[in-house]
Structure 1
Amino acid sequence: MSTTGDTRTEPVDEAVDVEDPPEAEDPREAEDAPAAPATTRSARRRRVTPAAIAAGLLAVLLLAGTGLLIRTSQLTDPAATSNAALTDTAATSRVIGDVSNTLGKVFSYTPEDTRATELAAKELLAGSAAGQYEALFGQVKQQVAAQKLTLTTHVVRAGVTRLDGDSAQLLVFLDQTAERKGKKATTAAAQLSVTARFHDGHWQITDITSR
């Protein structure tokens, strides 16, 4: 009797791609690995924590509070509260306007008309300023006609440093342009300390000091 061969076949497993397990890192390679870029390290160092932000805000608030306390103490100081230049904008502007107009008039003249300048000085100047101006302009007037001299004064900036009732002190910056007939005009800057008083409805200059 013949025997039949065993025709059973073993099941064939389907091919499956399996990733190789990661190789263990060689400690020597880790040592030889390049260091992290400087930008990455600096970015880590610049990382700000909420605690640091809160501390910074607290410092700013403390500084601001200190500044307000100092400012408040200055404004409540008797000397400061009596200075209307710090509190009365309208009065300060009035002083600056009157004084600027006066300086523009009394320090501007033409060879043909010095009389108008003299009249303005008599009306707008008082005290030592009037005496100083009269002595000075008496000398200048003799040269104006002969030299055909024209002087124009323009106040560039003026500020009231103290305003107390009818008395004011100012710091004034002005430009003066002098022109002689047939010659190029020249401009010079000047800085004056001015004292003024309120009289008869307007501010009169009582003292002028060149700085």
Structure 2
Amino acid sequence: MSTSEDVRPVIPAPRTSPENDPPRAAPARRPRLVAVLLAAALALTFAAAGLLVRAHQLADTPATDNRALVDTAATTRVAGDVSSAVTRIFSYTPDGTAATREAARQLLAGKAARQYGELFGQVEKRAADQQLTLTTHVVRVAVSGLTGTDARVLLFLDQVAERRGKPPTTAAAQLTVEARLRADRWQIVDITSR
């Protein structure tokens, strides 16, 4: 008979079968996972950079610089100033061409001033010879482009010509005008007849 001292618990030795082994990551999978995650991070970085560049391109278009789309007061001012100038420089009487020439000297600059100066000499002679009065009315005006100092304005005009002893005639005209702000005054720098 054995004593209690002789009784020892028997602990079975661990089995070495693969079913009982703790799970281990395969060494070949870890580098592959890192490479996939790195590639995904790079792709996201390039996509984000592309989106930022595209957003900058969209925000940096001529339309975003066009104050005619957003600044009502500035648009109204340039439309009024240019309309008034066109009315003054394209209206005259046989004995009032000097006043028209002086208005043009103040309201025109650059290419427009040169073109006007070349043509107005002929107009002055004809106005005196034919006793011609020309009155210009701006019917419609649209500011198609406006920055801080430059404007592009489209004008639709009615011009009434009266010669002594003949009935008046009316003609329609369309002009595109480039204007520049100088010394807080809009001056016409180019005129194109349409």
TM-score when normalising by structure 1? 0.63
Q: What runs of 5+ residues in structure 2 fail to find an aligned partner? A: 1-57
Q: How does 1:1-211 map to 2 (within 5 A)?
A: 76=59, 78-211=61-194
- For the residue of structure 2 that corresponds to 1:109, the secondary structure is coil
**Alpha-carbon separation, structure 2, partners of 1:91 and 1:120:** 23
Question: Equivalents in 1 of 2:152, 2:188: separation in Å?
Answer: 10
Any idea what SS the aligned residue of 1:183 has? Answer: coil
**Aligned AA (2:94):** P
Name the residue aligned to 1:54. Answer: none
Instruction: Supply the distance in 2 between the matched residues of 1:106 and 1:170 (Cα, whole angstroms).
Output: 16
- Whole-Å separation in 1 of the counterparts to 2:177 and 2:72: 19
State the Cα distance separating 1:112 from its structure 2 match.
1.5
What is the TM-score of this pair, normalised by structure 2? 0.69
Aligned residues: 137
Structure 1 residue 78, shift from structure 2 partner: 2.8
- The structure having more radius of gyration, on CA atoms, is 1
| Structure 1 residue ranges without an equivalent (≥5) | 1-74
One-letter amino acid of the structure 2 residue matched with residue 137 of structure 1: F
Q: Which residue identity is paired with 2:183? A: D
Structure 1 residue 113, shift from structure 2 partner: 1.1
Instruction: Output one character per residue of 1:48-89: Cα deviation in whole Å (capped at 9) or x when no partner.
Output: xxxxxxxxxxxxxxxxxxxxxxxxxxx956322111010100
Q: What percentage of residue pairs aligned between the two structures are identical?
A: 61
The residue type equivalent to 2:129 in the other structure is: A
